[in-house]
Amino acid sequence: MVEGERNPLIKGSGPTYNGEVTAQSDAHRRKWKVLSWREPTTETPPRDAGSWVSKINYSYINPLLALGWTKPLNADDLPPLAENDKTRTQHRKLREAWDRVQGTGSPTWRFWRALYHAFTSEFYLAAIYSVLESALTIGQPVLLGYLLTWFKDDDDDYLKGGLFTGGFITCSFLAAIVHHQLFYHTMRAGWVCRMGCTALIHEKLLHSSYSARQSHTNGKIINLVSTDVLRFDMGMVFLQFTWVSAIDCIVVYYLMARNVGYGPAAAGVGVLALVSIWQLHNTKRLARFRKETAQATDARVSLTSQLLSGMLSVKAATWEVPFQKMIAKLRANEARWILKSQLVKAFNLGIYFSAPAVASFVTFALYVHVNGHQLEIDEAYPTIALLQVLRHSMGKKLARAFETVPEMHIAVKRIQDFLETEEDGGVADHEEPAEEGLVLEVDSMSCQWNTKKTVVEGLSLKVGRGEMVSISGPVGCGKSTVLSAILGEAKVTSGSIKVRGPVAYCPQQPWIIAGTVRDNILFGSEYDAERYERILKAACIDVDIKQLQNGDMTEIGERGVNLSGGQKARVSLARALYSDAQLILLDDPLAAVDPCVCDSLLDSMRSLLTYKEVGILLVSHQPKAVVYSERVVSLTATGTVAYYGEPEESAMTTSPQLSKSSSVEEVPEKPEGGSGEAPVKLVEAEDRMKGAVTGQTYKSYFQAGGTWLTVVVAVCLVAGQGSMMYSDYFLSNWAGNDLKEQQKDFYLIVYGSACGMTFVLGLVRAFLFFYITIRANSNIHNGSFASVLHTHMSFFTSNPLGRIINRFSADLGQIDEQLPVSFFDTLQMACMVVGAVVLVCIAIPWIIIAIPFLVAIFWWLRKYATRSLRELKRLDGISRSPVFAAFSANLNGITSIKAFQKHDEIQHAFGTKLEKMALPWYWWFIGNRWIGFRLDIMCSFLVLFLAGFGLALRDSVSTSLYALAMTYSMTLGEMFQYMVRQSSLVETMMTSVERLLYYRDRLEPEAGLDIPTIDPEWPADGSLALNNLAVRYRKDLPLVLTDVSAAIPQGSRVG
């Protein structure tokens, strides 16, 4: 468990449930309790307490940013969420909506309809703000046209000029407000979908059948909550632009036609439309790439999870290098599909930069050379401004929609496929026996797994209160399958199973939850000291617990690494015996204990039958178990019943199978006096860097991608921006001449060459950059995973499996999918902003006075906000680990959870972790809105200064340069704040690179695998000598073996 986190499985330590709602599935009916993860604070959520003004400018986050400026933020510093933002609210809405659409309408869109019903207001608010933003953005070029006409015609009516200028400035300020409201509602919509789906998937997991879990591998199920749900974050943001961009295209075409005529307007808009059609064509390709990527990621994560779960075996067999190569091969296949989808995104980003230049060239070439019209300043630059609006609408928003919406649709389909898998109620599906004294009645039962082959056939048995019935037989005969059929896992093909009351289950492989020994035994039940001590003695675990450093409050981790196999089996047995179950199913718990402990356990179980009046069904190879049983079932190798009756009539005691002693595992010795030592946390707090992401992190990242390729991309970025600026500047010279001069080929050739160079460089730099990032990500992954494979076993005892998987799934997924786009956006926008500022200053040099002050304010705002945003992003990464650890652990222990019917408690615990995970992301998201809004407002002030200076200095300012500056100012604010916000986003996402590099560079490796030269005749004999052997699991943990000496000669058999 993470330090400081309470275990919600302990009664009274977690939040409580409120209310009930009845849900029905195809498999059965059940009651699900509505989650109510109550906050342990009475603090009013800042958004609920904030005024309407604070909700527009996001000032309700000010106290948190002020705190983050003074110190690194911790999880305890984060304010609570508003009631409508809490995860339990989103989960309830989505589950009710999913229940409502079950079995209705087209299956293809079923889960989409559930999302719509659950979050209807989010969809409509996004649509309204999308239309408002488009109206304000398109309104600015229209007003610019009127202003330039007034400017060019030397109109003395300054009131008219002032009105046009005021309208232009007002649109700029209103667009800033509406833009951030739009992105607040769309990003929040993606977030609530993600959190709601994560909770719903986990709830489905707890009720899923065995066949459902077989059809969806563990890696695939984990990927649903680690990767697939992330598609909502961007998909919901750009979903509305799939139709708003079409409206923008129609309106822009009409307005352009007013300036340059229908033919040239159609040509210019047509270029951008053809690009969008090509992007739409790539949508199917992108969807296929995403599907293949998801399958490749499933395969890699699944094998990674299996390897990390079995690291002891991997290291014992020195299989690190073969498995390292196997994972690297799977990663190479995954990276191949990611690169294909990223190249599509690279094309979209490259086109976003260069398409307006090509569209402008086509438009003005037709207008001047074909139609024979003279190009005027008040026609040219409003047309360029409209093309830039359409560029942003179609080249950015629609293109991102074509990228993210198909990916989101694939994710929705994968989630729906899992949600529609078969469910079972486990033991709850069975009827109760008619006879009052029975707790289990099996009548002529035959069962099988997913195959058509029957595993057990014609089994009949009864277990009454106070009775123990044992099942034995050769390996693979179906003994454990009988228990699985009772638990609802194996499929009953004929006959019946009837069960009375709650059931407890002790699996063959003990399932240990991350927590203390007491947590594992109580498993959510009330603590009764007398009963607890009685059960510890009955399970023969009381002596072992006293030898542990902190007694039953000792942490044992999710794998129980500091317990022996026998101890884990007895902890699992104690859990079953402590429960309130009337029927206890024991799957060979005696196999991992020595003979004397076996005798004690059987004696204790007999005593317990009298004390609790429960029934026990025991699967065991131990011959002694027969003597303690009221009745015995003997199965043949083919799964048929060889004998059922009282033990003295059975021939089982002479069975060769039972005469073989099971493997013996000795209880490890504990040093005396250990309980007096200071407590040691078995599971350490997750590593967390503090402060800014270092330059070394960026350097390591690009070195992993290729240093020289990075230099080439940098040159292309500068050259591409230069060619675009020259083409726009040259247009002012072209438009300043008369018609005869304008129709000379010289202008067309120069302008066309500059536009063509812009187009080529825009694509080349995008393709190269995305290739570099995928190459870097794969190299970092391979290096990090190799370090994990070759580090000490102590690393795996102190880090839960989910925490490690988090870095190779969620963190890697983020730097694969989101970091390249944001990083390239930052670099591209930075070049465009510098170019725009240079042109604005050339047009009106007085602006230079304001630039240093604005840059200083911009830089301070970024520095002020980024300090908190960076820590919030790190907290987000850390808070995800407990969620994935819990999900992974619950996935492995699903049979035990269903047997004990602890669905509510486990969902409860998971929901608490999910609520904690929601906090850092939400405040990081609000922090981004905070800085973005203020940067946009500052840029609107820059527009105000520019327009004001132009109005005041009308007689001394070049009309063409003023038109160029005003055109660039329209997008300068949006580009600048977007660049600053994206750079902040890049820094926060680089924390994921930082987390992977930590594994690659800072994990202490074991001794090398190089084997020294030895005598070819070695070993001459098979003797073994132990001399004063002392063993501990980790440097900071107590010894588990002390001064053990033994000499075992060859040919000996030692137990």
Q: Is the pLDDT of residue 136 over 90?
A: yes
- Render pLDDT for 467-515 as a digit per residue (tens, 0 to 9): 889 998 888 888 888 988 888 888 888 888 898 878 899 888 888 887 7
Residue 344's pLDDT band (boundaries 50, 70, 90)?
confident
Q: Is the pLDDT of residue 367 over 50?
A: yes
Tell me the backbone φ, ψ of residue 9, rounded to 5 degrees. -75, -15
Closest to 643 measured CA to CA, from 494, 458, 916, 844: 458
Q: Is the pLDDT of residue 588 over 80?
A: yes
Q: Is the pLDDT of residue 889 over 50?
A: yes
- Render pLDDT for 1014-1037 as a digit per residue (tens, 0 to 9): 777 777 777 888 888 888 766 767
CB 1050 within 8 A of CB 1021: yes
Region 71-96: mean pLDDT is: 88
Region 43-55: mean pLDDT is: 84
- Which amino acid belongs to residue 37? W
- Which tokens hold the place of 415? 């989630």
Residue 711's pLDDT band (boundaries 50, 70, 90)?
very high
Least confident of 172-186, 602-616, 700-714: 602-616
> Distance between CA atoms of 674 and 340, rounded to whole angstroms?
58
The per-residue DSSP string of 131-163 comes to: HHHHHHHHHHHHHHHHHHHHHHTT---HHHHHH
> Distance between CA atoms of 668 and 680, rounded to whole angstroms?
19
Highest-confidence segment of 112-126, 350-364, 511-525, 874-888: 112-126
Q: pLDDT value at position 10?
A: 41
Helix 847-892 vs helix 62-70: crossing angle, to nearest 10: 90
What's the start-to-end Cα distance of the chain, in Å? 35
Q: Is the pLDDT of residue 834 over 90?
A: no
Residue 714's pLDDT band (boundaries 50, 70, 90)?
very high
Q: Is the pLDDT of residue 30 over 50?
A: no
- Render pLDDT for 760-780 as a digit per residue (tens, 0 to 9): 998 899 999 999 999 999 999
Conformation bin of residue 5: beta by default, left when phi > 0, alpha when psi is -120 to 50? beta
Q: pLDDT value at position 687?
A: 55
CB 790 within 8 A of CB 1006: yes
Q: pLDDT value at position 558?
A: 61
Closest to 557 measured CA to CA, from 600, 519, 598: 519
- Cα 840 to the center of its chain, rounded Å: 43
> Distance between CA atoms of 341 and 346, rounded to whole angstroms?
9
Region 619-646: mean pLDDT is: 85
Q: Is the pLDDT of residue 843 over 70?
A: yes
> Distance between CA atoms of 290 and 338, rounded to whole angstroms?
8
What is the H or E stretch that residue 634 is in?
A: strand 631-635
- Render pLDDT for 631-644 as a digit per residue (tens, 0 to 9): 899 888 888 888 88
- Render pLDDT for 219-237 as a digit per residue (tens, 0 to 9): 788 888 888 898 998 899 9
Closest to 212 measured CA to CA, from 505, 410, 489: 489
Helix 565-578 vs helix 595-612: crossing angle, to nearest 10: 10
Give the rounded percent of residues in the chain with a pLDDT score beyond 90. Answer: 17
CB 487 within 8 A of CB 587: no
Region 319-342: mean pLDDT is: 90
Closest to 968 measured CA to CA, from 840, 829, 847, 850: 840
Least confident of 26-30, 79-83, 644-648: 26-30
The per-residue DSSP string of 493-557 comes to: EEEEEEE-S-EEEE-SS----SSBHHHHHHTTSPP-HHHHHHHHHHTT-HHHHHHSTTGGG-B-T
Contacts (Cβ under 8 Å, ≥6 apart) of 221: 201, 205, 213, 418, 891
Give the rounded percent of residues in the chain with a pLDDT score beyond 70. Answer: 89
Question: What's the whole-number average pLDDT of the chain?
Answer: 81
Residue 96's pLDDT band (boundaries 50, 70, 90)?
very high
Region 388-417: mean pLDDT is: 86
**HEC string of 60-105?**
HHHHHHHHHHHCCCCHHHCCCCCHHHCHHHHHHHHHHHHHHHCCCC
